[in-house]
Amino acid sequence: MIFTTESEVKNPEFEPVQKPLSRRLFVGAAALAGAGLFGAPVLAQTRTEQLAGRKGDNTSDPGPENKSLLEQNPSANNPPFTDHGNPGPIWYSFDLAPKRMQGGGWTHQVTQRELPPSHDLAGVNMRLTSGSFRELHWHTANEWAIMLTGKARISVMQPNGKMFLEDVEAGDLWYFPAGYPHSIQGLGQDGCEFLLVFDEGNFSEDDTFLLSELLAHTSPEILQKNTSWPRAQFDKLPPTELYIFEASLPDSLEAEKRFLGENLETENKYTFKMNAMQPTMKTAGGEARIVDSTNFPVSKGIAAAMVTLKPGAIREMHWHPNVSEWQYWIRGKGRMTVVTTGAKARTMDFNANDVGYVPSMAGHTIENTGTEDLVFLEMFKTARYQDVSLNQWIARMPNKMAEAHLKLDRSIIRQAPQDKNVILPR
Ligand code: MN
Ligand code: MN
């Protein structure tokens, strides 16, 4: 373990203490409390020590408080001693984002407006009831999606006139390149819910190019010349956006593909079965599935990793050398620590439907703090997933280089995992 040096812990958030606190002292406290390095008992212990000889409890909070928020995020309320400075926000939740309700479903979004440092990616969470459409549209960002529940039919048309048409279910992905017009329709008895990720931080679901608006805002003369539709029919066209709206269920997939005939796109595959793929990495602590342009060729702008951590397991200390990370937490509970430049560090707790953010290249770790599996998505604005593993880096350091930097003996240093594990068990 690396937390065994005698170096003094400096944290300006805390009031001065009578004796310097060493990391060894924290480890001792953790062992006594039978808790993890960052567990609350460590803090309780060290705070007790800090408070020895003091008259008041400087951690008390006698004024008003939002109890349910504090219970969800104890790390924000009572930061671990490793937190320092302000690296910017790393947490938001779809459950704080107002829903746009429509007949046929709803949508809400977490973008750069909600999480200002997230300039690379934005997310939209959407529900479509059975038969309901997200209106035919296109946009300036690339769109990556994962089905969360239910079933949907998607279509996307290529500039060469071929249309891709497929049905998707929970755990499946789709990818629509910027500018390619597409549709999503809820299927089955209860439609679907899905997450969309766009490679523009300030993307807005309210700012897409819509079929209805293109028609409504082109003069009837031009529209008639363009379509040859009788002018008398134009009053039936939607006068304004449909956006999300109810419709009847489509014909069978086979029938719709048959209708397309040779105009059905079969070379490019715009869907991918992420849940069903073999894990890219599997250890005693869980598994990771990585999907980028190497195994999902159309996904040129966005890469993804779906990580499952067993209780107590961690996504090992690492960073991404090419891009920031945007996370969607699907299931379970966890805690993330992010360390960036100038010793700025923050730890936050996460639950299902939360969004996490890691600045480009910042070191980070995620721990499953719950009693069930934790599942989350790491999303990147890149064609190729990349990460640097701290353990693997240390393992490649020649002995004297490693000893000089870590102040540990090589016999201790080499006790660490000697390769990239991605996931480490409890
Ligand atoms: Mn779209
Ligand atoms: Mn990461």
Q: What is the DSSP string of 21-35?
A: -BHHHHHHHHHHHT-
Ion ligand 2 nearby residues (CB, 5 A)? 325, 378
Is residue 243 in a domain? Answer: yes
- Angle at Cα 399 formed by Cα 393 and Cα 403, nearest 5°? 90
Q: How far is the CA of 325 from the centre of ligand 2 (A)?
A: 6
Tell me, yes or no, whether 168 and 232 share the same domain: yes
Is 362 found in the same domain as 325?
A: yes
Specify whether 145 is located in the same domain as 241: yes
What is d(CA 406, CA 412) in angstroms, rounded to the nearest whole number?
A: 10
Span from the CA of 50 to the centroid of ligand 2 (angstroms):
34
Domain count, the chain: 3
Do 187 and 336 reside in the same domain of the chain? no
Same domain, 114 and 14: no
Catalytic residue among 169, 287, 378, 403: 378
- At 290, which CATH number? 2.60.120.10
Question: 390 in a domain, yes or no?
Answer: yes
Question: Is there a domain that residue 402 lies in?
Answer: yes
Residue ranges making up the domain that contains 282: 276-424
Q: Which ligand places an atom closest to the C-alpha of 175?
A: 1
Cβ within 8 Å of residue 28, ≥6 positions away:
none
* 153 and 52 assigned to the same domain: no
Q: Does the residue 120 lie in any domain?
A: yes
pLDDT value at residue 130: 98
| 140 Cα: distance to centroid of ligand 1 (angstroms) | 9
Kindly state whether residues 42 and 173 are assigned to the same domain: no
Identify the nearest ligand to the CA of 377 by its number: 2
pLDDT on residue 58: 77
User: Which pTM was predicted?
Assistant: 0.88
Does the residue 376 lie in any domain?
Answer: yes
Whether residues 240 and 261 share a domain: the answer is: yes
Question: Which CA distances in Å does 158 have to 24, 182, 347?
Answer: 61, 9, 44
| Ligand showing the shortest atom-to-Cα distance for residue 176 | 1
CA separation for the pair 371, 255 (Å, rounded): 46
Tokens of 412: 């201790």
Q: Ligand 2 center to residue 316 CA distance, Å?
A: 9
Question: Are both 228 and 268 inside the same structural domain?
Answer: yes
Domain check: are 192 and 297 in the same one? no
Last residue of a domain, one of 244, 272, 300: 272
Among the candidates 242, 272, 302, a domain finishes at: 272
Residues 157 and 237 in one domain: yes
Mean pLDDT, consecutive 10-residue stretches, the chain (426 aa), reads 34 40 45 40 49 70 90 90 96 97 97 97 98 98 98 98 98 98 97 98 96 96 97 96 97 98 98 96 97 98 98 98 97 98 97 98 98 98 98 98 98 97 95
* 181 C-alpha to ligand 1 centroid (Å): 8
Domain's final residue, options 272, 287, 302: 272
Q: Is 267 a catalytic residue?
A: no
* Surrounding residues of ion ligand 1, Cβ less than 5 A: 143
Cβ contact 125:197 at 8 Å? no
In 3D space, the residue among 341, 88, 357 whose CA is nearest the CA of residue 201 turns out to be 357
* Ligand nearest to the Cα of 142, by number: 1
Give, in order, the Cα–Cα distances in Å from 329 to each of 142, 171, 198, 366, 388: 21, 14, 17, 11, 22
Of all ligands present, the nearest one to the C-alpha of 386 is 2
Distance (Å) from CA 138 to ligand 1 centroid: 6
**Within-domain flag for 356:** yes
Both 208 and 109 in one domain: the answer is yes
Q: Is 283 helix (H, G, I), strand (E, B) or coil?
A: strand
Residue 283 CA to ligand 1 centre (angstroms):
36
Which pLDDT score is estimated for 50? 54
pLDDT of residue 28: 41
Asked if residue 231 is part of any domain, the answer here is: yes
Domain annotation covers residue 71 = no
Tell me which H or E stretch contains 317: strand 314-319
139 CA → ligand 1 middle, Å: 6
